[in-house]
Amino acid sequence: MLTCCLDLPSLTIDKVRDGLLSRQFSAVELTNEALRHAESENSKTNAYLSFASDRALAVAARVDQRIARGEDPGPLAGVPVAVKDVIVTKGVRTTCGSKLLANYIPPYDATAVIRLEQAGGILIGKTNCDEFAMGSSNENSAFGPVRNPVAVDRVPGGSSGGSAAVVAQGTAVVSLGSDTGGSVRQPASFCGVVGAMATYGRVSRYGLTAFASSLDHIGPFARNVKDAARLLRVIAGHDPADSTSATAPVPDYEASVDAPVAGLKLGLPREYMRDATGETATRIAQAIDRLKSLGCEVRDISLPMTDSAIACYYIIATAEASSNLARYDGVRYTSRSAESSTLAAMYRNTRGEGFGAECKRRIMLGTYVLSAGYYDAYYLKAQKVRALIARDFARAFETVDAVVAPVSPFPAFRLGEKVDDPLAMYLSDIYTITASLAGIPALSVPCGKTSEGLPVGLQIMARHFDEPTMFRIAAAFEKTN
Ligand code: GLN
């Protein structure tokens, strides 16, 4: 039987390919097994919100046909992939973690989803997330929190907690999440997997439900750097359907994972080490030593605007969110409140009943900072601060090839620990939102565990469109694990 030769949690993209081409298993057999495993394990983490069995098996059959005809089955052939539920999938329920969209079936696919299936990837299911990707712990989902597979009393991070958890748990080989202020990197660090955010515009946002459009990215999760690089290459590239997508050609990211790193100059921003808790700081210091032993030169640098980043992000992100979320009005997409006798009451009741507390908080905050009397004092000011944060990085990259830092000041915290303190929750994004505001690529790669066994992630940030250097450093570092 198939299970004898399939250890799903240890599969990588290359292992799937080898297994298919050597006829150890077919794509349909692997898909059936992956679906069965994911469904049976889901009660432990609540990471999947829906499974796409029919669609998955249809794509798997196409992969098998290509192999039977002797054709190249594609760079993701037969690979079980999970996709965050803010990314639309034709015919497969897409909830955005919101009660409002509990029954929403999109009529089209996101570009990233089309590309991953064209590459032979198998979409097996949709993953739980914070409502409209707003959160750092996955506790803002209308469908219950996700539990961290590494320690089930802990959060997996957010907002792409489900996509990180399924890769860590072994119920998908790779997955897609979205990162607006850290939502791929932070859950990757909490769950002990690799998570990457490319340069803004590198991956089409077509079909990614808008939260804060100038910050939103789709990004890959994987169990190793090479798989993350492969998945990013598949989904990256210009898309006429997204006017902010970049036209620059996509390099072969995987080609950089075996390149040596000796002689590269890395910057360690002193502002990022100040608030890191003891064990996180220790693991990062050890990671720096390992990078030095690979021949990298590590320099102390300063990114002086770091202290303003949280305030800047939570003005810009909420301003954009307040506008983007206006479309959920009871007319389109969503369910409609039954209690409404007038149009105004329909809007009010639908939105009042449908949105969770965090979305309401952000809509109010965003509406406030955009209002006539406060626009200059908050929104305009935040845009200026954003430019200064980007300038900090541009200056740093005049002297270093990449910036290394923690992903989060602390490892995965306990479920419920921060839910009543939104400000403490916001502060957990302190090291990730700077790269988001600057639009530069950044990833999280595992760099050890705390004494309690909780994973810690090392963040590597690079110049705009220099994903190859980011992957090169991450892959070399990963080999020292
Ligand atoms: N935690 C941040 C927030 O709540 C980032 C979320 C994200 O990247 N989607 O906005």
Per-residue confidence (pLDDT) for residue 1, from 0 to 100 = 46
What backbone torsions phi and psi does residue 452 show, to the nearest 5 degrees?
-85, 0
Q: If you average pLDDT over residues 364-376, what whole number do you get?
A: 95
**Among 180, 215, 407, 430, residue to substitute to test ligand 1 (most atoms within 8 Å of Cβ):** 180
What average pLDDT score do residues 321-348 get?
Answer: 92
Q: How far is CA 268 from CA 205, 431, 436, in A?
A: 31, 12, 18
* Ligand 1 centroid from CA 373, angstroms: 27
Q: Is the pLDDT of residue 217 over 60?
A: yes
Average pLDDT over every residue of 441-464:
98
Residue 297: is it exposed, middle or buried by C-beta count within 10 angstroms (0-12/13-18/19+)? Answer: middle
Give the full edge-to-edge strand order of the sheet including 80-84. 48-51, 122-127, 80-84, 174-179, 217-222, 194-197, 442-449, 455-462, 402-406, 265-269, 297-301
Ligand 1 pocket, 227 CB below 6 A? no
Give the distance (Å) from ligand 1 centre to CA of residue 94. Answer: 19
CB 171 within 8 A of CB 248: no
Sign of the Cα pseudo-torsion (110, 179, 475, 17, in order): negative
| Per-residue pLDDT band at 423 (split at 50, 70, 90) | confident
Task: Find all residues with CB under 8 Å of 15, minimum gap 6, and list them.
Answer: none
Residue 19 has pLDDT above 50, yes or no: yes
The answer to whether the CB of 182 is under 6 A from ligand 1 is: yes
**Which H or E run includes 57?**
helix 53-68
pLDDT band, very low/low/confident/very high, at 2 (cuts 50, 70, 90): low
Distance from Cα 28 to the centre of ligand 1, integer Å? 36
* Candidate of 163, 408, 421, 429 to mutate for ligand 1, largest count of ligand atoms within 8 Å of Cβ: 429
> How far apart, in whole angstroms, are the C-alpha atoms of residue 254 and residue 464?
18
Strand, helix or coil for residue 92? strand
- pLDDT digit string (tens) for 161-187? 999 999 999 999 999 999 999 999 999
pLDDT band at 427 (very low <50, low <70, confident <90, very high): confident
How many whole angstroms from 248 Cα to the centroid of ligand 1? Answer: 27
pLDDT tens-digit readout, 283-314? 999 999 999 999 999 999 999 999 999 999 99
Does ligand 1 lie within 6 Å of residue 224's CB atom? no
**Ligand 1 atom nearest to CA at 358:** 4
Q: Measured from the CB, is residue 134 less than 6 Å from ligand 1?
A: yes
The strand pairing partners of 202, in sequence order, are none
Which ligand 1 atom lies nearest to the CA of residue 314?
10
DSSP SS3 for 427: helix
Residue type for position 190:
F
Q: For the packed helices 27-45 and 53-68, what is the interaxial angle rounded to 10 degrees?
A: 150
The secondary element (H helix, E strand) that includes residue 29 is helix 27-45
Q: Retrieve residue 125's tokens.
A: 């299911």
Q: pLDDT over 90 for what percent of the chain?
A: 93
From atom 10 of ligand 1, which residue's Cα is the shortest distance away? 134
C-alpha–C-alpha distance, residues 435 and 309, integer Å: 10
In this structure, what token pair is assigned to residue 393? 């990085």
* Residue 344 DSSP label: H
Contact criterion met (CB below 8 Å) for 170 and 397:
no
Question: Catalytic site residues?
Answer: 84, 159, 183
Q: How confident is the model at residue 5 (pLDDT cuts 50, 70, 90)?
A: low
- How far does the centroid of ligand 1 lie from the alpha carbon of residue 70, in Å? 44
Give yes or no for residue 219 CB within 6 A of ligand 1: no
* Cα-to-centroid distance, 83 and ligand 1 (Å): 17
pLDDT tens profile 187-196 = 999 999 999 9
Mean pLDDT, the chain, whole residue set: 96
